[in-house]
């Protein structure tokens, strides 16, 4: 493996290890199989295991220069895979708890019955807006784009998007007030 303790000028770099791209590829080839097997045994899912190993490599390659012993990469990789699997399970447990609470929560009629009249009213109000105001409101509130993203789509400034959105919303409120 092409790792060395020499700095750029051939001197010591505080005992830190320098690694080339070829060495990183070699590390990956050498350690991927064992790390994948470990992750698979921990998770029981090949896709999740592969993601965990990829994440572990990304974390460790960034820190490889700080390893004083290049042979310690394997054990560090295994520890990182185990830690990432614990994090993934914690995340899943939190998600499942949230979903369980949501399923157990009684829904009101308004939450599962669409308000067709309100939807039609809003649709008609939206159609009465100027095309650029309508485009901004659709991009911002239906497509859920940020002002920056909407500005990129429309080819205008963020300030223009903000202004068009404010005027469009004001026009829709005015339409509601006038009974249209």
Look at strands 18-19 and 3-4 and give their pairing.
Answer: antiparallel
**H or E element: which one contains 3?**
strand 3-4
**pLDDT for 85:** 93
Topology at the third CATH level for domain 114-177: Arc Repressor Mutant, subunit A (1.10.10)
For 45, phi then psi, to 5°, come to -135, 120
- What are the tokens at 85? 């699997």
- Tell if the pTM clears 0.75, that is, is over it: no
pLDDT tens digits along 51-96: 999 999 988 887 766 667 767 788 889 999 999 999 999 988 999 9
Provide DSSP, 118-179: HHHHHHHHHHHS-HHHHHHHIIIIIS---HHHHHHHHTS-HHHHHHHHHHHHHHHHHHHHTT
Domain 3-104: assigned CATH number: 1.10.1740
User: Are 133 and 168 a contacting pair, CB within 8 Å?
Assistant: yes
Ranges in the chain, pLDDT < 70 = 1-21, 64-67, 70, 109-113, 178-180
Q: What is the pLDDT of residue 179?
A: 56
Give CA separation, 157 vs 142, 151, 172, in Å.
20, 6, 23
Extents of the domains making up the chain: 3-104, 114-177
Q: What is the pLDDT of residue 72?
A: 79
What's CA 4's distance to the chain center, in Å?
A: 36
């Amino acid at each position: 493996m092409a790792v060395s303790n020499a700095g750029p000028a051939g001197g010591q770099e505080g005992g830190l290890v320098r690694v080339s791209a070829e060495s990183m590829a070699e590390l990956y080839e050498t350690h991927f199989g064992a790390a994948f097997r470990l992750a698979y045994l921990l998770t029981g899912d090949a896709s999740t295991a592969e993601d965990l190993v990829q994440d572990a490599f990304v974390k460790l390659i960034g820190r490889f220069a700080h390893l004083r012993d290049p042979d310690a990469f394997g054990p560090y990789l295994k520890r990182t895979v185990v830690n990432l699997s614990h994090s993934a399970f914690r995340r899943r447990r939190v998600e499942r708890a949230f979903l369980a609470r949501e399923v157990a929560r009684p829904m009101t009629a308004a939450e599962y019955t669409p308000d067709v009249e309100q939807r039609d009213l809003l649709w008609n109000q939206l159609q009465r807006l100027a095309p650029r105001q309508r485009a901004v409101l659709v991009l911002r509130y239906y497509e859920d784009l940020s002002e920056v993203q909407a500005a990129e789509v429309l080819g205008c400034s963020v300030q223009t998007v903000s202004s068009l959105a404010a005027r469009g919303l004001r026009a829709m409120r005015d339409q509601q007030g006038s009974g249209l």
